[in-house]
Amino acid sequence: MNKELLQEFLPIVTKTKESILAGIEVLEKQVPQVVNEIFKWESSISVIGIVLGLIFIIIAIIIVKNWKKLWAIAYDKDNELGLAIGLIILSITGITMFIYNTCKMINILVAPRLYLLNYISGLLTCD
């Protein structure tokens, strides 16, 4: 009985082993391309974040330079706190985006292997 079961399962195990080996070969061929695409994607996202951060910073600078004109047009002097809070939030957001994405881009350019290890560990730990 055991020999009959073994004879029936042997072809299945052999085909499974061959399929796994074929899958590994495909993965070996695709890994460099996938790594390259990860670097391109993350670099593109970083550049977009840097540009948006700079835009926010420039808008905040323009608002500061034209504070009195904008305030006179938009609001009365009793609500000055709202514009100040909005300006602070815009400035902090722009600076944070710029610094974070610049650090990420430097990490990709200077230490790509380290970045890739951090990226993979983030995927495995669900960060």
pLDDT of the chain, 127 residues: tens digit per residue? 677 777 777 788 888 888 887 777 877 788 888 888 888 999 999 999 999 999 999 988 888 787 767 666 666 566 667 677 878 888 899 999 999 999 999 998 899 888 888 888 887 887 5
- The four Cα atoms 44, 46, 47, 51 give a dihedral, to 10 degrees, of 140
Encoding tokens for residue 34? 């996938």
- Tell me how far apart the alpha carbons of residues 13 and 69 are, in angstroms, rounded to a whole number: 78
What distances in angstroms separate CA 76 from CA 41, 59, 63, 79, 103, one per listed residue?
46, 21, 16, 6, 41
pTM of the model: 0.67
Return all residues near 116 (Cβ < 8 A) that are at least 6 apart.
35, 38, 39
